[in-house]
Structure 1
Amino acid sequence: MKSTIAILSASMASSALAQPKVARSQQCNVAPSAATNANIKPISAPSATTADACLEACLSNPSCKSFLFGLPANADVPVCELFSVPAAQVPNQGSELYIFDKACSDSSVPSTEPTHDDPRGEINSKIAARSLICNVAPSGPADTSIKPIATPSVKAADKCQDACDAKDGCQSFLFGLPADASAPLCKLFKVAPAKVPVRDDELFVFAKGCPAAQVPTPAPTHDEPRGEEPSEQDT
């Protein structure tokens, strides 16, 4: 009997490990879908004229995990509400209000002011694509006040991105294997990748929202200090 229980426990643990990670399962720019009787209230309602400004307010609030944004039909100014729960737990608030998890990337958050015809605003996909910095040498000003907010121990760039996803306030990360190091370095920052100071080593900067195709998954080597991108592995 004990051996049967042990086998079942091991099987359940193995199954749990095999489940997909929820860190990447973000809700971005969709109608809230939690039960309307859920007792979930906003923790703050800052003034924001665009969804990306509402995101900035969420990023600056350590308790914020998601935010609601839109221009209701009976309103003259947009609504921005911050919540201390993930987007999946926020109840429906009305047809013109949309929910975003804190970790939503710039490419999924509207940057224009909403109208009654377009109550969430529009995503400027070309600007978002250009502004997304992925796997390049940092080039920001040499500002000594910009320090990492965490330096988790990971073996690959995608794991460093996972750590950034899970860290409140993280907007970008550095990853690589310096020539004089035996293990890779992962540094998380609360500033955009364009602001991460220039360096002269083998560390490369990534925006938090970089797509999987641009984030290396294998462990780096001194010949390939950032690891190979998935697209390079297929060639």
Structure 2
Amino acid sequence: MCGVAPTATGSQTPISTFTNAKTAQECLSDCNSNASCQSFIFGMVDSTIKCELFSVPAAQVPTQSSANLVVYDKACSSIPAVQPTTANPQGLANGAAQNQNGGQTSQSGGQTSSSQPTQGQQGANQKQNKRATCGAAPSGSGTAQPIDTPANIASLDACIAACKANASCKSVEFGKLTANGPDVCRFFDVPAAQVPKATDGQSFQVSDVGCA
């Protein structure tokens, strides 16, 4: 689990709490310095940045009292170096991109050339969105498996939004595992076109992360 809200129901407590970590990457450094640390939560609550280490995987970290806190496994491949703000209390990378673009807009022409790759990237993203699979029935023939199933997701749009906070998530599947079962949100690390077809009794929609 990488940059999503913790959802476990256990009674695990932090093995250590730090106030010097200003970004999730700095919190990871604290985790790496502790041989018992397997995961950590990070975010800003009441204007205070929290970094708490746990001796269990992120999937076993209990639900927190604040939605501003997200959990990371120690092995997550992409952990943002973004300081939380009121608008982005979790310090997620997508919030940093918005702030950075805003900063470039307000700065002098000396950095005009540095904004050009961003424009090129936007064009690439637009092309990617045109090819994206959005809200279709899964049709892949492979054996891709979900990398995460976050709880308390009530819609496809909310599922996509949660996917964007996970660096490994490329597409989502939202719907029912059984005809009368609850809706579930599942993350995949492959494009939506490669998510396997639903089996009998299942009802799913798949979307690439760029759809919403």
Task: Tell me, yes or no, whether TM beats 0.5.
Answer: no
**Greater Rg, structure 1 or structure 2?**
1
Which has the larger share of strand? Answer: 2
Whose RCO is larger (CA < 8 A, sep 6+)? 2
